[in-house]
Chain A
C-alpha cells in the first residue's frame, strides 16, 4: 500500500575529481523539524552518490539544484552521502553538507 504520507526517497549520482580517500564515517546534524542529518561514508571513486530520505515530498528539483551546486563546490569522488531530512530548507541543507565535508580528513580538501 502506498500512502500519501510515505517517505520520499531520492537518489543522485555525480562523478567527482577530488578523491576523498579513506575516512571514518562523518555524521552531521539531527533529524528534527526543519533539520536533517548527513552521513558521509567512503564510496566508489569517482562517484559521489547521494541518497535522500525526506518527509517533505515533491521537492526533487530543488534537491537536484542544491546538490548540483554542492558538487560544483566540492567535486567529491569516492563518497557516499546519506541524508535523513525533516523538511530542512535549502540553506540548512547546504550548510550541513558543507559542515560534513569540513569534517573529512584534511587530505581530502583541495
Chain B
C-alpha cells in the first residue's frame, strides 16, 4: 500500500502528512487527538541523514508535545550500504534514533510501529522493533535478507534453505512468521483506523515479544532461556 493511501485510510483526506524525499513526517489528528507520524517510503535505505531526520522529530515531539503518541510508518530496504555512512558512524546514528524512541516511550509517549510495505534488518531494529509494539499490514514483507543472498553468505544450499523456510518460521521472510515469533504483535487487516485505535489502547509497555513467540509457537526458546538465566543458581 502506498503511504498516501494508508494515511487517508487512517487519518482521512486532510491528513497533513508530508513527504520530503523518502522521509515522511507530520502531526496528524487521529479521532480528534494529535499524533506524531514519522516514516519512510520508497523502500528507503536508512543512512545517517535519514536516521537523524527521524530522531529530530522524536526529540521535537518530546520537547513540544509531551506524551503525544508516535506512529512509525515503516518501508525500508534496510540500512544504507555505503562506505561513507559507515565512516560517519551509521551504527551510532541508528542507535541514536533507537534511543530517542526508547526515551520517548519511557517518558510516556505511546510509540507504535506499522510495517506498511517492507522492513529489513538494520532499518527495522531502530524503528518498529524498538517501539512499544510493532504491527504490519498483511501484504507487507519483513526479512533479514533474501534467501539467495542468505545462501551465498552462509554457504548453505539454496534448495535446503527454501525447504527449511517452509517448515520453520526462523528462516523465511514474511509477516506471518514475524507474528508467530512475536516480533510483530498483530496484523492490521480491513479497518485500519479501528486497529490503530485498539493498538493505542492496549499495546504493552514491557517487552513481551519472547513470551508472545512462545505462546504462538514460532519462537519456543527465547523466553524460556532468558527465564533460566534469571533462575540459575
Query: Do A's and B's CB atoms come within 8 Å in the complex?
Result: yes
**What residues make up the interface of A, taking CB atoms closer than 8 Å to B?**
1, 3, 5
> What CA separation (Å) do A3 and B157 show in the bound complex?
11
Which chain B positions have C-beta within 8 A of A1?
163
Residue of B nearest to A6 (CB): B160
Kindly state the separation between the CA atoms of A1 and B168 in the bound complex, as whole angstroms: 13
B221 within 8 A of A: no
Scan B147-181; emit 1 where CB is below 8 A from any A CB, else 0.
00000000011001001000000000000000000
Considering the complex, give the chain A residue whose CB is closest to the CB of B167.
A1
Q: How far is the CA of A3 from the CA of B163 in the complex (A)?
A: 10
Which residues, 73 to 113 on B, are CB-close (under 8 Å) to A? none
Question: Which chain B residue has the least Cβ–Cβ distance from A3?
Answer: B160
Residues on A with C-beta less than 8 A from B163 are 1, 3
Q: Report the Cα distance A12→B160, complex, angstroms.
A: 30
A1 to B160, CA, bound (A): 11
A/B interface sample: 6 pairs, CB < 8 A: A1-B163, A3-B160, A3-B163, A5-B156, A5-B157, A5-B160
Which residues of B sit under 8 angstroms from A5, Cβ to Cβ? 156-157, 160
Q: How far is the CB of A55 from chain B (nearest CB, A)?
A: 11
Cα A3 to Cα B160 in complex, Å, equals 8
| C-alpha spacing A1/B163, complex, angstroms | 10
* Chain A residue at smallest Cβ distance from B159: A3
Q: Which residues of A contact B160 (CB under 8 A)?
A: 3, 5
- What's the minimum C-beta distance from A32 to chain B, rounded to whole angstroms? 14
Minimum C-beta distance from A16 to chain B (A): 32
Closest Cβ–Cβ distance, residue B167 to chain A (whole Å): 8
Task: Give bound CA distance, A3 to B156, whole Å.
Answer: 12
Chain B proximity of A7: nearest CB distance (Å): 13
Q: B157 contacts which chain A residues (CB < 8 A)?
A: 5
Closest-by-CB residue of A relative to B156 is: A5
Query: Whole-angstrom distance from the CB of B159 to the nearest CB of chain A?
Result: 10
Bound-state CA distance A10–B67 (Å) is 60
Complex: how many Å from CA A1 to CA B167? 11
6 nearest A-B residue pairs (beta carbon): A5-B160, A3-B160, A5-B157, A5-B156, A1-B163, A3-B163
Q: From residue A61, how far is it (CB to closest CB) to chain B in Å? A: 26
A1 to B156, CA, bound (A): 17
Q: How far is the CB of A80 from chain B (nearest CB, A)?
A: 22
Nearest Cβ on chain B to A1's Cβ, whole angstroms: 8
Complex interface bits, B52-90 against A, C-beta within 8 A gives 1, otherwise 0: 000000000000000000000000000000000000000
Q: How long is the Cα–Cα vector from A5 to B158 in the complex, in angstroms?
A: 12
A16 and B226 CA atoms in complex are apart in Å by 40
- Residues of chain B with a CB closer than 8 A to A3's CB: 160, 163
Q: How far is the CA of A3 from the CA of B161 in the complex (A)?
A: 11
In the complex, what's the smallest C-beta–C-beta distance from B217 to chain A, in angstroms?
Answer: 20
| A31–B61 alpha-carbon span in the complex (Å) | 48
How far does the alpha carbon of A68 sit from the alpha carbon of B160 in the complex, in Å? Answer: 35
What 1/0 flags go to B127-165 for Cβ under 8 Å of A?
000000000000000000000000000001100100100
A41 to chain B, nearest CB (A): 18
B156 CB contacts on chain A under 8 angstroms? 5
A21–B194 Cα distance when bound, in Å, is 67
**What is the CA–CA distance of A3 and B53 in the complex, to the nearest angstrom?**
48
Report how far A5 CA is from B156 CA in the complex, Å: 9
